[in-house]
Amino acid sequence: MSLIESLPYSLSVAGPEDIDGIGNYFVEVLARGSSKHSALTIYLLDTHAYSPDEHNFGGYDWLKKNQIEWFKSTAQGLKKEHAGYTHIHMDLAFIHIPLPEYRDDSLPRKGEWREGVTAPVFNTGFRNALVEEGVVMVSCGHDHANEYCALSSNEAGNPALWMCYAGGAGFGGYGGYGGYHRRIRFFDIDMNEARITTYKRLEYGEIEKKIDEQIIVEGGRPAKLS
C-alpha cells in the first residue's frame, strides 16, 4: 500500500490503523464546476484473504465487525455535508472478495455466472449495512469468469442494492471457460441525473461493443433489471 500511495495520481490510502485490514478508505468525487460539494462517495474496504478459522468456516475471510462499524459511522457522519449538494448524492462501494449474497442464484441478474461464487462462509452482514446507509451499488472481483450484476431487494421487494462483478481483466490469474474473453466492467455515471449505466468491453474481438449494457441506478436509486 505504501508503494501504491506513492504512485502518480493515486488516491489510495492505507486507512485507519485501529481497524482490520489495509486499505479501508473512501474517496469523495466533487460535483463538476466550482462546487465544493461531493456528488459521489466511493467506499473501498479490505476483504482480506483466507479464513482465519478453517475448521469452522473454510475458504475465504470476511469483513470484520470493526470495519463495518467504521463504514457505518463514516457514512452517517458525511450525510449532513452531502445534504448540501444541489443534486442527488450517491454512495458506491468496491471490494475484492464477493459478499455471501452473491451466491443467491434466484436474484434477477444480467451477465454470465460461469463458476462457483467463492464468498466467505461466515456472513457478517455487510450487505445489510450497505443498504441501511443508502449505498446503491457494490462491485467485486475475485471470481475471474463471473461477470454479472445481481439485484438484491428489500423486504418489500423493491430494488435495494446492485451487486456486480468487475469481469476478469488481468493476466495474473486464470481465465477461459469455453471461449471466455478477458473483459472489464465500466460504470458511466451521470451526476446531474444521478444515473449509473454499466457495461463490459472485451480484451479483443468486438472491443467497441458494449456488452450487457444496463442502467442500474436511476434518480439516485437502484433501478429494476433492464
* pLDDT tens figures, 18-30: 999 999 999 999 9
Give the Cα-Cα-Cα angle 36, 24, 215 (nearest 5 degrees): 65
Distances (CA, A) of 209 to 33, 188, 199, 212, 213: 31, 15, 9, 9, 10
Cβ(200)–Cβ(147) under 8 Å? yes
The span from the CA of 202 to the CA of 183, in Å, is 4
State residue 219 phi and psi, 5-degree precision: 65, 30
What are the boundaries of each domain within the chain?
2-182
What is residue 100's DSSP assignment?
A: G
**What is the tens place of the pLDDT at every residue in 107-147?**
999 999 999 999 999 999 999 999 999 999 999 999 999 99
Distance, in Å, from the CA atom of 135 to the CA atom of 162, rounded to the nearest integer, reads 9
Whether the predicted pLDDT of 34 surpasses 70 = no
Q: CA dist 168 to 16, 86, 146, 174, 211, Å?
A: 30, 37, 8, 9, 14
Q: Based on the number of CB atoms within 10 Å of its own CB, is 170 exposed (0-12), middle (13-18) or buried (19 or more)?
A: exposed
Higher pLDDT, 173 or 2: 2
DSSP, collapsed to helix, strand or coil, labels residue 28 as strand
pLDDT at position 225 is 96
Q: Which of 53-62, 104-113, 172-181, 212-221 has the lowest mean pLDDT?
A: 172-181
Output DSSP code: residue 101: G
Mean pLDDT of 64-83: 97
If pLDDT is split at 50, 70 and 90, which confidence band does 176 have? low
pLDDT score at 175: 76
Q: Cell 469455453 maps to which residue?
A: 178
pLDDT at 188: 98
Mean pLDDT of 141-159: 95
How much of the chain, in percent, has pLDDT values that exceed 90? 86
The pTM of the full predicted model, rounded to 2 decimals, is 0.95
In this structure, the number of other CB atoms found within 10 A of the CB of residue 193 comes to 13
